[in-house]
Amino acid sequence: MNPVIAMFLGVALGGETITAAEWAAMPVILAGVAIVMVAHSRAEATAAAAGRHGTVRS
């Protein structure tokens, strides 16, 4: 979510404008973030099922 938050902070605090290309890129950015989050969650679940405790290093 950091790229999206950074973009909106730039608008809110820096007076930047969001172009049409940036609006079009937003779903791609969000999809990429979602893919990474799901993959990390699955890796943690697999590690837990295998009996390893702690976080998964990526």
**Look-up of token digits 């893919």:** 35
The pLDDT assigned to 47 comes to: 80
Q: How far is CA 19 from the centre of its chain?
A: 21
Its pTM stands at 0.60
For the segment 18-56, what is each residue's pLDDT rounded down to a tens digit? Answer: 999 999 999 999 999 899 999 988 888 888 777 765 555
10 Å Cβ neighbour count for 22? 13
Which residues, including other chains, have CB under 8 Å from residue 21's CB and lie 6 or more apart? none
pLDDT-derived band at 1 (thresholds 50, 70, 90) equals low
